[in-house]
Amino acid sequence: MKTLVILSGGMDSTTLVYDLVNQGDEVVCLSFNYGQRHSKELECAKKTCEKLKIEHHIVDISNIHKIVMSQNSLTGNKEVPEGHYADETMKQTIVPYRNAIMLMIAAGTASTLNFDRVAYAAHSGDHAIYPDCRPEFVLATKLVMMLGDYKQVELYTPYIKIPKANIVNKGLQLNVPYEDTWSCYKGGEKHCGKCGTCVERLEAFKLNRMKDPVEYD
């Protein structure tokens, strides 16, 4: 299988890359610069691809539209909220249609490269806050990909119904070097340990009775 992976540089998509390489897929990775505060994740994505000797493209969509990017806390003028990932305040971290835009660019790339599928690491912990990580969104996106192009590129989302702790469990078995991943939305020197994605990350390691190898403030 030839698979184009959307690699953020976080834990889930990095695990997915190791998972697919382990399965013998021919993998190419696509990352997106959308003006995120935590652009450190892109350095991690690059490192992972270098280690695995995988072709890597970073697509700059930060200027695609100032309006879309202006009113949220990942790219815009709002502060990154602290607390649990499932809290209502986390809605400030929604960049509307971010995933749909990325998926369509990835699908267009896969179609042009004659690749079989696009892989995307949304997981069940994302569902509470992010509608564009839910199974029904994935299903609708699959339909667009079947109907909007002559080449029927598949959308592969193997983690869509499993929680983050299980992804980490799989990654630990695959010896994924989690020190090469970045989660914190604040994008500081070290992980803050307080924002939703840090809290979720720490919880996933704790449930696996393992210590997270990244440093915290």
Question: Where do contacts with its own copies occur on this chain (CB under 8 A)?
Answer: 57, 59-61, 63-65, 67-68, 70-71, 91, 94-101, 104-105, 107-109, 111-113, 131-132, 134, 136-137, 140-141, 143-144, 146-151
3-state helix, strand, coil in the chain (%, to 5): 45, 15, 45
Return the number of the residue (23 or 63) whose C-beta is nearest its own copies.
Answer: 63
Which residue spans within 34-166 are E strands per DSSP? 55-60, 117-119, 154-156
3 state DSSP class of 87: coil
CB of 63 to its own copies, least distance (A): 7
Nearer to its own copies, 32 or 185 (CB): 32
Contact at 8 Å (CB) between 1 and 116? yes
We find the least distance from the C-beta atom of residue 9 to its own copies, in angstroms, to be 18
Nearer to its own copies (CB atom), residue 18 or residue 159: 159
Nearest to 4 by CA among 32, 19, 26, 24: 26
Closest contact distance (angstroms) between CB of 18 and its own copies is 24
